Structure 1
């Protein structure tokens, strides 16, 4: 099986935590093919955040693209952490969910004082 890219980013924390996390997992994206499945997702290092499983369609050929997104807020580090994986074959995302979950459970933040 081909590798599946997983993107990890941190952005400066701004606004209401819950509202921002919902935006980061794109619960209100107008291109969604159906309402996303959104659940709490907890890791030891990042605490409780959100995970969404979502489906969109491309405009060109109406291909269904599956994606999973995770988001947490770290008050200590002053940032939000977002993880994104997507593929035009929903089976790839669904088949990789356990591996992606295990990967994000290993993400830690280092807060520098400087």
Structure 2
């Protein structure tokens, strides 16, 4: 449902993406950017924006799940579980207006982005 939307948004906005590795980096950055906006909306008490930005982050994470290559074994299985847990945390953050849960998701994606950059030399 969300997956193709996230990919289409990035594809439209970044026609010249150099590689699939760069796309993953951009998706991680998108989660971080949208989470920051959602966190601001929570602080401001803006329900509409909170829902919008959490939905955008969820769409990207759903896209990340859809592009996992499950033939790669343990790493893909681990990431699938991690991504699904992060979606659960985003839902809880929205329902509870929890900045702490937003921060937890952002911290995970900061770590993933850093590891991705190190492993792909995209930085």
| TM-score, normalized by the shorter chain, greater than 0.5 | no
Question: When the two structures are superposed, what TM-score results if normalisation uses the length of structure 2?
Answer: 0.29
Question: Is the helix fraction higher in 1 or 2?
Answer: 2
Question: Is the strand fraction higher in 1 or 2?
Answer: 1
Question: When the two structures are superposed, what TM-score results if normalisation uses the length of structure 1?
Answer: 0.31
